[in-house]
Chain A
Amino acid sequence: MKRVGLSVLAMFLLVGVAFAAGKAEKVPQKVVIYAALDEKTTKELASAFKETTGIDAEVALQIEQAGTVAARIKTEASNPRADVFIGGNSNFHSELAAGGFLEKYTSPVVKEAGIDPKLMDPDGYWTGWYLGALCLLYNEKLYNEKVKPLGIAPPTTWDDLLNPVYKGQVIASNPATTGGAYLMMAAQIFRLGSEEAGFEYIRKLHPNVAQYTKGANGSIPLVAQGEAIVGFAWGHDTLKQKIQGNLPIVVVFPKDTGFEIGAASILKGAPHLEAAKKFIDFLLSPKAGTINARNGYRYPVRSGVELPPGVPPFEQLKLAPWDLKKAAENVDKWKKKWAEITGM
Chain B
Amino acid sequence: MSTRVREPVLFLVIWVVIVSLLVFVVYPSIQVFLYPSGTDFLKILMNPRYQRSILNSLYIVVLSTLSATFLGFIYAYAITRTDIPLRKFFKGISLLPLFSPPFMVAFSYIMLFGKNGLITSKLLGLQVNIFGWHGLWFAQTVAFLPVASLVMEGILQSIPPSLEYAGRNMGASGFTLFRTITFPLARPGVAGAALLVAIQVLADFGNPIMISGDFSVVATEAWMRVEGWADIAGAAVLSLLLLIPSFLIFLFQRYWVSRRSYVTITGKITQIDIQKTGKWIRWILFSVCLSLSLLIILVYVALFMGAFVEGWGFNWTPTWKYVKEILSRSPELTNSLTFSILAGSGSALFSITAAYIVSRKRFLGRRFIDFTCILPAALPGIFLGLGYSISYTKPPFDLYGTATIVVLALMFWNIAMGYQTGIGVFQQISPSLSEAASNLGAGSLRIFREIEIPLIKGPFFSAFIVSFIRAITTLSVVVFIVTQKNVVATFSIMNLVSDGFYGKAAALTCALLIIAFGLLGITKLVLGKNVVLFKV
Interface residues of A (CB under 8 A from B): 38-39, 58-72, 74-76, 78-79, 81, 92, 95-96, 174, 176-181, 210-212, 214-217, 220-221, 224-228, 237, 240-241, 244-248, 339, 344
Does chain A have a CB within 8 A of B116? yes
A220 CA to B499 CA in the complex, in Å?
11
Q: Is the beta-carbon distance between A61 and B311 smaller than 8 angstroms?
A: no
A214 touching B401, Cβ below 8 Å? no
B367, CB-defined interface residue at 8 Å = no
Number of A-B residue pairs with CB-CB distance less than 8 Å in the complex they form? 150
B398 interface residue (CB < 8 Å to A): yes
Contact A76 B400 (CB under 8 A): yes
**13 extra interchain contacts, Cβ-Cβ under 8 A, other than A75-B390, A178-B229, A214-B224?**
A61-B482, A67-B230, A71-B226, A76-B393, A78-B394, A92-B230, A177-B228, A220-B500, A225-B313, A227-B114, A227-B115, A244-B501, A247-B314
| 9 A-B pairs in the complex with CB atoms less than 8 angstroms apart | A72-B389, A72-B480, A81-B400, A179-B228, A181-B228, A211-B131, A214-B209, A214-B224, A339-B48
Q: Is B49 an interface residue (CB 8 A)?
A: yes
For chain B residues 471-494, which have a beta carbon within 8 Å of chain A?
Answer: 479-480, 482-485, 491, 494
Instruction: List, in ascending order, chain A residues with CB within 8 A of B400's CB.
Output: 76, 79, 81
Is residue B148 contacting chain A, with contact meaning CB distance below 8 A? no
Given contacts A224-B313, A225-B110, contact A178 B499 (CB under 8 A): no
Interface residues of B: mostly helix, strand, loop or mixed? mixed
- Chain B window 174-205, contacts with chain A (Cβ cutoff 8 Å), 1 for yes, 0 for no: 00000000000000000000000000000000
Q: Which 4 A-B pairs have the closest CB atoms?
A: A178-B228, A241-B500, A70-B230, A79-B394
Do A215 and B229 touch (CB < 8 A)? no
- Chain B residues closer than 8 Å to A210, beta-carbon distance: 129, 131
- Please tell me which one of the listed residues A68, A217, A344 contacts residue B214 in the complex, with CB atoms under 8 A apart: A344
Give bound CA distance, A63 to B129, whole Å: 30
- A67 near B229: Cβ-Cβ < 8 Å: yes
Q: Which residues of B contact A65 (CB under 8 A)?
A: 227-228, 498
Q: Which of A221, A228, A240 has the most CB of B within 10 A?
A: A221
Q: How far is the CB of B464 from chain A (nearest CB, A)?
A: 31
Chain A interface main SS type? mixed
Judge whether B213 is part of the interface by a CB distance below 8 angstroms.
yes
Contact in complex: A226, B313 (CB < 8 Å): yes
Bound: A245/B229 CA distance, A? 28
Inter-chain CA distance A67–B491, complex, in Å, is: 15
Set of chain B residues within 8 Å of A241, measured between Cβ atoms: 499-500
Contact of B220 among A67, A179, A214 (CB under 8 A): A214
B310: CB under 8 A from chain A? yes
Given A67-B228, A67-B230 in contact, is the A61-B483 Cβ separation under 8 Å?
yes
Report if B153 contacts A (CB, 8 A): no
